Every structure is written in C-alpha cells, then in structure tokens.
Amino acid sequence: MLSERQTEIINKSIDIIATKGIQGLTIKNLSKEIGISEPAIYRHFESKIDILLTILKNFEEVSTFMNTAMNNGNGSALNRIEFMFTKIIEVFSKEPSHISVVFSEEIFKNESILKEKIVEIMSSKVKAIEDIIKKGQDSGEIRTDIDNQTLALIVIGSLRFMVKQWDLNDQRENLLPEGQKLIEGLKLILTK
C-alpha cells in the first residue's frame, strides 16, 4: 500500500512522462513539480527506476483486476471483451496521461527489470483475451477460421492504435463514442 506522498510522486511522475517524455522524468524535475526536496523523494523511493517499477506494478494490479473480472464475468465472450474494452477506454478518457506510460513500452526497454515487467503485463493481457476468444470459439460464438492468437492481436492492436491516435491528436474528440464504434466493429469481425 502506497503512502499519500508516494501516490503523489507516482501521479506526478506519470504527468511528467505524459508532457515531457521519459527524459523529462528526473528526480530534480519531480521534486520541483511537487515542491519538495530531492532527498525527500529518496525517502519514498530508492531511484527513478523504483518509481517507474511502482508505476508498472500499479498498472499490473489494475490489469489483473480487469482480467479477473473479464474471465469471471457472466455473458458471452463478446460481452466480456466489450466490458474490458469499455473499462480501458473509460480509464484513458479520465486519465489520458496514463497512455504515455501504458502504450510506450519502448521507454522501458533499456532497463531489464522494467522491460521484464512490461513483457509480463502485456503477456497477461494477451493471454486473457486469447482465452476469452478461445472459449467463444469453443462455444460457437466466435469465428474459428482464424486462430485465437491472431484474433487477440487484431483486437489488442485495434484498441492500441485507436487510443494512441486519439492521444497524438491531443485528445480533441471524445474517446468514448469512438471506442464504442471500434468495439462494434470488432464484434462484427469476431462473430462467427
């Protein structure tokens, strides 16, 4: 459980990454943004890597919760995928700064511990969607002429592209209707 100050540091770090990129996230910049000394930050986190790892662990917890809700949910496979996508789109609509961290895996590739955590999170999300699609294929709900791994990549890639494009366009439009349009299109693609 993070302290109030740790949560503040994490949230400000995400904001800095969103506005200045990973290069802008320094302990000096962070302390200036929060209005505390650099040593005060080091009392809460050992390093910038520790801050980034905590951010990823927080995302992992949310992702695990969503995977569990999706897998344990009632309804069809398509309804469970729609539930997950809707929740992800809602989160990004409310907290667009998270996009810079979640969909910028390349910022973590030079630090092995961060890279491993990102790969773990991504693999978990892909596996959850593959499993739901496979259950839908087994029940006759989802098409079987394309394997579940390929369909999962199509689903994830579509969401990723839409969200990233929205972010790069400075979030000018409401993401929720666009997300719903994508969900409906994906349901048509997936349906047997």
Query: 3-state class of 191 per DSSP?
Result: strand
SS3 label, residue 142: strand
How far does CA 75 lie from the centroid of its chain?
24
Q: Are 136 and 142 in contact (CB under 8 A)?
A: yes
pLDDT of residue 140: 96
Compute the average pLDDT of residues 27-50: 94
pTM confidence score: 0.84
For the record, the structure tokens of 140 come out as 């006759």
DSSP annotation string for 119-131: HHHHHHHHHHHHH
Q: Where are the domains of the chain?
A: 1-45, 55-190
Find where tokens 């369909």 sit: 151
Architecture of domain 55-190: Orthogonal Bundle (1.10)
User: What does the pLDDT read at residue 6?
Assistant: 95
Q: Encode pLDDT of 16-26 as tens digits.
A: 988 888 888 99
CATH class for the domain made up of 1-45: mainly alpha
Distance between CA atoms of 90 and 122, rounded to whole angstroms? 19
Predicted pLDDT at 66: 80
For the chain, give the percent of residues with pLDDT over 90.
52
Q: Work out the mean pLDDT of the chain and round it to a whole number.
A: 89
